[in-house]
Amino acid sequence: MTIKEIARLAGVSISTVSKVMNHKDASISPETRDKVLRIVKEFNYTPYSNTNLPNAASKTFTLGLLIRSAETSLSLNSIIKAARSLGYTVLVSDSANQPEQEFLGVTALCRHGVDGVLWEPLNEDSLNFAESFRTSKIPFLLFNYSHAEGALNIDFEQMGYDATMALVQAHHTDIACLLSPGTRTERFLNGYKKCLFDNGIPFLDSMVYQEPCESLIHKITSHAITGIVSSHSSAANHLHGELSSLHYQIPYEVSLVSLKNDSRAHTVYPEISTFTTPHFAFGRHLCEQLVAMMENPDHVPLAFETHPTLDNRTTIAIPYSHRNQPLLVVGSINLDTYLKMEQLPYTGKSMMTSSSSVYPGGKGVNQAIGAAKLGAHVSLIGAVGSDVESDLIYEALKAHSIDASEVRRCTDAATGKAFIFVQRDGDSLISILSGANSYLSPDDIKKNSRYFENCRYCLVQTEIPQDTVMTTCHMARAHGVSIILKPSTCSYLDPELLPYINILVPNLNEINLLCPDGTLSEKADYFLDRGVETVIISLGADGCYYKTKTMEESIPAIPFQAIDNTGACDAFISALAVYLQEGYPMEKAVRIANYAGGFSITREGVPDSLVDRSSLERYIFRHEPELLNIQQK
């Protein structure tokens, strides 16, 4: 505190203060003298000539910390811990967001002769107080203040940019920004704006909200907003609660990304996709830089360079409008009977079964359920009998919200059946009774042409008649729909069919039946040369191999404990289709599908073993988080 500052606070001249302090105030009114003395007492002013300014030989080993509010300074604990580890104690002054209290804190720290000060200014006017520190020869370091050169800050602008980019990469364009009062708000908003600009998305003031409100809820429920970024976890939690109370599904109907303080890093509920703000690391960095300044006056503080990454993808998904684009499955429908045994039966040898179970199945049902559990809107075209088994099929499809309106009942055929023998190590042997599947005709496809009008991928298997498969492929080509074909239970594919197949997905046995000679690469080339765009061969415990005209790759299996391998390829195909439909490049979609196939071998019964999206992406996020970035790199 200087005499000049006392004069400014009292609204008098410096000479007036000097006269009062030196008892030469006979010409000064009692009111003015009392005012000056009151301020002198309040701020503990000591004339400069009477002070003992600190010097290098009189270190107090005390750091001053001047913050806006103890409630909002989340770096406080880490500063104190860091100071202690460096041999310093910390004297804390809380300005309580009041300029007068901030000035009192400045004078108090000067009076105590601290060795250095970390200062969180209230506003631009606060910097006028800096002269007190300079006069007292106390080095100070500004933080959480973006309007002064040399101030250290957490890069909330980059965090706002990254949070918004997480939604942009999931194909969102209608993104709202939810703000809360605090030092980060302006910088977070700037990052949000910059990300929109960089991605060609117009910024609208109407998409910025200061709190969860009725207008925001209305825009979300009407799908005018498909994604939200929030500067504070408290606001995000509040919004999550409001939407949950309305039985609104996150992220199926709206995606949500927020910042989260590291003091709340272990909060369990609600789990939201977040970027954790590194307050602890920032506090330590501040303390270390201030001590470096104290020990070397020429030291230039280093910027805080830590850039947080997305903690999880729990509340991020593609926009609702994208999800409404259906995925079409045309294929077989069976009731599967599982028989577990120590060893698979073979010619001349009878084996006892230890247990049996019955599940809905068939390649069509398996792939439809697999895609639905990953969030796709699925329609299934197939045939069942007019029997009790068909009722079980319809119930299973309804339970997974699959459109089964074109699953036709056949009055003169039984529902298809499969008998699956499962060995202890997960290997299986399957025998199929086609039943109503053989009655699925080209006419069934032609009369359902509307299902091809608004979809991108159609999954087909050859457990139905090949002329029906051919009609499906022709219909798909006419509507610009890509075909993913599983060549199951067949040793021949009509050469006329091959140019209509975009992705062929056989297992090793199937590719050997279709093309007995040559290496995997040569077998794949056989189909590529005849019009197939991509060949993906599932190799069981060896993972998968895929090849196109421009690339070739082998991907190792994910190390899961095998219980039942029956549905691995169906799980793979379901995931491949879902992620391709959402815009993932082939290289990443294949790897994600490889994880889905790995999950499926860990449980018995295909429908139960098919992984849901949340479980799949949580696991991938822990092991290969870059796969979930929809961009190529």
Q: What is the pLDDT of residues 24-49, one digit of tens each?
A: 778 888 888 888 877 876 665 665 44
CA distance 510 to 489: 8
Pairing assessment for the beta strands 503-504 and 62-67 based on DSSP bridges: unpaired
> In CATH, what is the architecture of 156-295?
3-Layer(aba) Sandwich (3.40)
pLDDT in tens, 530-580: 999 999 999 988 999 999 999 999 999 888 887 777 789 999 999 999 999
Could you check whether the bond before residue 319 is cis, i.e. omega within 30 degrees of 0?
A: no
**579 phi/psi in degrees, rounded to 5:** -75, -30
DSSP assignment, residue 379? E
| Residue 340: pLDDT over 80 | no
Place of tokens 């091959």: 498
CA distance 276 to 267: 11
At CA 471, angle to CA 451 and CA 404, rounded to 5?
A: 35
Q: What residues does each domain of the chain span? A: 3-62+91-142, 156-295, 325-332+362-413+436-628
| Residue 51: pLDDT over 60 | no
- pTM check: above 0.85: no
The residues pairing with 419 across neighbouring beta strands, listed in sequence order, are 337, 431
pLDDT in tens, 77-128: 888 888 888 888 999 999 888 999 999 999 999 988 899 999 999 888 999 9
Which residues touch 575 (CB under 8 Å, ≥6 apart)? 370, 374, 589, 592, 593, 595, 596, 597, 611, 616
pLDDT in tens, 215-239: 999 999 888 999 999 999 989 999 9
Stretch (H or E) spanning 418: strand 416-423
448-483 per-residue burial string, b: 16 or more CB within 10 A, e: under 16: beebbeebbbbbbbbbbbeebbbbbbebbeebebbb
| Residue 156: pLDDT over 90 | yes
Which residues touch 161 (CB under 8 Å, ≥6 apart)? 191, 192, 194, 195
Q: Where does the pLDDT of residue 385 fall: very low under 50, low under 70, confident under 90, or very high at 90 and above?
A: very high
pLDDT of res. 43? 67
Q: Where does the pLDDT of residue 65 fall: very low under 50, low under 70, confident under 90, or very high at 90 and above?
A: very high
Task: Pinpoint the alpha helices (H) of 422-484.
Answer: 442-446, 466-478
| Burial (CB count <10 Å: 0-12, 13-18, 19+), residue 395 | exposed
| Residue 324: pLDDT over 70 | no
| Residue 412: pLDDT over 90 | no
pLDDT of res. 491? 86
pLDDT of res. 247? 81
DSSP assignment, residue 386? S
Q: Residue 131: name the closest of 6, 299, 303, 301 by CA.
A: 6
The residues pairing with 63 across neighbouring beta strands, listed in sequence order, are 90, 116
Superfamily of domain 325-332+362-413+436-628 in the CATH hierarchy: Ribokinase (3.40.1190.20)
**311 phi/psi in degrees, rounded to 5:** -70, -40
| Burial (CB count <10 Å: 0-12, 13-18, 19+), residue 234 | middle
**Least trusted range by pLDDT, from 24-38, 374-388, 492-506:** 24-38
Place of tokens 């409100």: 213
pLDDT in tens, 161-182: 999 999 998 889 999 999 987 6
Q: What is the mean pLDDT of residues 330-346?
A: 83
Q: What is the mean pLDDT of residues 261-274?
A: 69
Which residues touch 155 (CB under 8 Å, ≥6 apart)? 187, 304, 307
156-295 with 325-332+362-413+436-628: one CATH topology?
A: no
